[in-house]
């Protein structure tokens, strides 16, 4: 791995004017991430900022697509903090494999993909081609803490240097 690649994620976050938050603590009986082999499975991520839910409620019921996308971006920023803590560095991310997005939606709301794009676009901005991923964006009736979105991830990691 070249030095330029090692600096990429941190440099891109900085260029976006973003800093990673403290990784959120689990809300129930689970761990934030589990690694098996070179895969890191990241548990559900909510759009909490400083402990406050961003844009609570359902899409199509008072939360706009733009607010939902901003919430997805915040949830992913929390996810990057979880990845950094679990992997030791964002520079160990080889590829974002899968993103699952669950969008609290009213009946008839069908623009879930545009909401989840808030997270997908952040991953591409931070990791470049390695941030492009497979994805699911589905509508659900309700999410924990009245969250408008919940995300989970599968990330492929590089082996640590010896």
Q: How far is residue 40's CA from residue 46's CA, in Å, rounded to a whole number?
A: 18
Convert the pLDDT of each residue in 152-162 to its tens digit. Answer: 999 999 987 66
Domains of the chain by start residue, with CATH: 3-24+34-157 (3.30.1330.40)
Q: Which residues contact 142 (CB under 8 A, 6 or more apart)?
A: 58, 104
CA 106 to chain centre: 23
Convert the pLDDT of each residue in 107-156 to its tens digit. Answer: 999 999 999 999 999 999 999 999 999 999 999 999 999 999 999 999 99
Residue 100 forms beta bridges with which residues? Answer: 136, 152
Convert the pLDDT of each residue in 17-50 to its tens digit. Answer: 999 999 999 989 999 999 999 999 999 999 999 9
């Amino acid at each position: 791995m070249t030095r330029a690649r090692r600096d990429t994620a941190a440099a891109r976050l900085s260029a976006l004017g973003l800093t990673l938050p403290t990784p959120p603590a689990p809300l129930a009986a689970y761990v934030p991430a589990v690694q098996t082999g070179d895969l890191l499975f990241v548990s559900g991520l909510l759009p909490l900022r400083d402990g406050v839910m961003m844009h609570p409620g359902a899409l199509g019921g008072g939360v706009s697509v733009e607010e939902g996308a901003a919430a997805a971006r915040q949830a992913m920023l929390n996810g990057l903090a979880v990845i950094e803590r679990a992997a030791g560095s964002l520079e160990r991310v080889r590829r974002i494999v899968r993103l699952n997005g669950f969008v609290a939606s009213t009946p008839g709301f069908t623009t879930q993909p545009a909401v989840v794009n808030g997270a997908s676009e952040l991953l591409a901005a931070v990791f470049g081609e390695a941030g492009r991923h497979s994805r699911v964006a589905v509508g659900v009736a309700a999410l924990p803490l009245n969250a408008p979105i919940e995300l989970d991830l599968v990330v492929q990691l590089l082996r640590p240097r010896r």
